[in-house]
Amino acid sequence: MTNMRNIAKEAGVGIATVSRYINNTGYVSEEVKSKIERVIEKSNYRPNELARAIFTRNSKIIGLLVPNISNPYFNEMALIIEEFVSNLGFSIFLCNTNDDPEKERHYIDVLQGHRVAGIITVRSQCKEEYTTHDIPVISFESNISEQIITVSTDNYLGGRLAFDHLYECGCRKMVHIAGPDFSNAINDRYMGFVDAAKEKNLEVDIIQFKTDFQRKMLEANIRTLEDIESYDGIFVFNDIAAATVIRYFKLKNVNIPQQVQVVGFDNSYIGEFLYPSLTTIEQSVQEVSKILAEVLVKLIKGEAVEQRKISIIPKLIQRETTKTFEKLN
Ligand code: XLF
């Protein structure tokens, strides 16, 4: 039976070298690489997809790293990407990083070990880990390196749209509930909101949450917001956090939109199911997911992609958590 030991013996190299080659964990000279490849080629040991991938260095698996699949935006994204790539013969290897760089690093290693054909990484906190191997990578939101293509919404514009809408709906005492500050996307939403407020000479308050990926953690954050009903307008950094804010107001008998108006960000499917349904800033999950999948497949096929930054234009989706203009008059 062909195994690493046999391959090493036949190629005339050490087992550690074969292991470095197969796991892509260190330097192997071109000459040694071709010796190992020749032995692997000769062997017809092809027991399963993983082994095939290891031997041919080319699997039909795409690694998808998301902060946490329990966020509706990310679970919809995973569904759309999976559908798109499966039509092209690829399967998805889904990893939840929990916004933990250690966990993300671990998954990058696992994906390398599985010889994935490409990686889609969402809100990544790692950098060199993506540049020290030759697997094609595309990033949503995080700028990893000059070489790696980033897709992101114009979050700054999104923050401005949220402010302008609340302002037009009559809000004058506003607060922004911002998310974890390691995310460019979240910081840009915050900056857009604050800059638009400055232009109207309005001071806005900011509250910062440390997480958005688990409902329980969000609820714990929200319970600390004592005077939240003293505001008449709230812009929340994403829909799942906005859903938790709405529920909190329900429990406190605060009426939305009569007393407080709320705007989320994402336009994930959860917004329509809420009562009252959520006004939000859309970052089209269809558009984002399709671009991520399409561009990655191009990179896997070795096709050139010129654009390094791909920007999605956000748009206001008005529902029931903000007053309609008729109600204002
Ligand atoms: O990283 C940001 C924050 O949350 C991402 O785009 C999201 O809006 C998804 O819910």
**Top-confidence residue, 59 or 234:** 234
**Region 153-169: what's the mean pLDDT?**
98
Q: What is the mean pLDDT of residues 133-151?
A: 95
- Residue nearest (by alpha carbon) to ligand 1 atom 9: 73
Helices (H), the chain: 4-11, 15-23, 30-42, 49-56, 72-86, 101-113, 128-131, 155-168, 184-199, 215-222, 239-251, 270-273, 285-300, 325-328
Q: Name all residues whose Cβ lies below 6 A of ligand 1.
A: 71, 73, 123, 141, 179, 183, 185-186, 212, 237-238, 240, 265-266
Contact partners, residue 318, CB within 8 Å, separation at least 6: 165, 279, 324
Name residue 117's amino acid. Answer: A
Q: Is the peptide bond before 276 cis (omega within 30 degrees of 0)?
A: yes
Residues 6+ apart with CB under 8 A from 233: 166, 167, 169, 171, 172, 173, 174, 175, 260, 261, 262, 263
Rounded Cα distance, 244 and 99, in Å: 20
**Residue 55 pLDDT grade (very low, low, confident, very high; cuts 50, 70, 90):** low
Confidence category of residue 37, pLDDT binned at 50, 70, 90 = confident
What confidence score (pLDDT) does residue 19 get? 81
Question: What's the average model confidence in pLDDT over 144-172?
Answer: 97
pLDDT for res 96: 96
CA-closest candidate to residue 241, choices 324, 175, 310 = 175
pLDDT confidence bin for 4, thresholds 50/70/90: confident
Nearest to 40 by CA among 26, 68, 21, 63: 21
pLDDT band at 54 (very low <50, low <70, confident <90, very high): low
Pocket test for ligand 1, best of 69, 70, 71, 244 (most atoms within 8 A of CB): 71
Atom 7 of ligand 1, nearest CA residue: 238
Domain range annotation of the chain: 4-45, 61-153+285-312, 155-283+316-328
How far, rounded to the nearest angstrom, does the alpha carbon of residue 182 sit from its chain's CA centroid?
Answer: 13
Does position 319 have pLDDT exceeding 90, yes or no?
A: yes
Tokens of residue 4, six digits: 């690493």
Q: Give per-residue pLDDT as tens, 164-215.
A: 999 999 999 999 999 988 999 999 999 999 999 999 999 999 988 877 666 6
Q: For the chain, state the CA radius of gyration.
A: 24
- Give 153's Cβ-side CA count (13 Å radius): 32
| pLDDT value of position 56 | 56
Separation of 39 CA from ligand 1 center, angstroms? 47
Residue 122 CA: which ligand 1 atom is closest?
1
Q: Is the pLDDT of residue 258 over 60?
A: yes
Judge whether residue 49 has pLDDT over 60: no
Q: Which atom of ligand 1 is nearest to the CA of 123?
A: 1
Q: Which of 41-55, 82-96, 202-216, 220-234 has the highest mean pLDDT?
A: 82-96
- CATH 3.30.1330.20 for domain 61-153+285-312: no
pLDDT single digits (tens) 217-255: 666 777 676 678 889 999 999 999 999 899 989 988 999
Check if CATH label 3.30.70.260 holds for domain 155-283+316-328.
Answer: no
pLDDT greater than 90 at residue 3: no
On the question of pLDDT at 75 being above 60, the answer is yes
What is the secondary structure of 86-133 as a DSSP string?
A: HTTT-EEEEEE-TT-HHHHHHHHHHHHHTT-SEEEEES---SHHHHSS
Same fold across 61-153+285-312 and 155-283+316-328: yes
Give the model's pLDDT for residue 214: 61
> Are 203 and 197 within 8 A, CB to CB?
yes
Please state whether beta strands 315-317 and 279-282 pair in parallel, antiparallel, or not at all (unpaired): antiparallel
Note the pLDDT of residue 47: 39
What is the 91 CA–ligand 1 centroid distance (Å)? 24
Q: What is the DSSP letter of 228?
A: G
CA 213 to each of CA 16, 97, 106, 129, 249: distance values in angstroms, whole numbers, following the listed order:
40, 10, 19, 23, 20
pLDDT of residue 79: 98
Q: Which ligand 1 atom sits closest to the C-alpha of 179?
A: 3
Average pLDDT, the chain: 90
Q: How far is CA 298 from CA 56, 211, 219, 295, 306, in A?
A: 20, 33, 41, 5, 11
Does the pLDDT value for residue 17 go beyond 80?
yes
Residue 23, both tokens: 């796991």
Pocket test for ligand 1, best of 66, 74, 186 (most atoms within 8 A of CB): 186
Residue with the larger pLDDT of the pair 143 and 2: 143
- The span from the CA of 237 to the CA of 218, in Å, is 12
Query: Closest Cα to atom 8, ligand 1: which residue?
Result: 238
Above pLDDT 90, what percent of the chain? 69
DSSP state of 229: G
* pLDDT value of residue 13: 92
Best substitution site from 96, 142, 154, 212 to test ligand 1's pocket, by max atoms within 8 Å of Cβ?
Answer: 212
Task: Render pLDDT for 21-35 as a digit per residue (tens, 0 to 9).
Answer: 876 677 889 899 888
CA 267 → CA 64, 132, 187, distances in Å?
21, 35, 19
Q: Are strands 279-282 and 61-66 parallel, antiparallel or unpaired?
A: unpaired
Pair 302, 309: CB distance under 8 Å: no
Average of per-residue pLDDT across 57-67: 89
Please state, in angstroms and as integers, the Cα–Cα distance from residue 311 to each residue in 37, 155, 284, 287, following that order: 41, 9, 11, 10
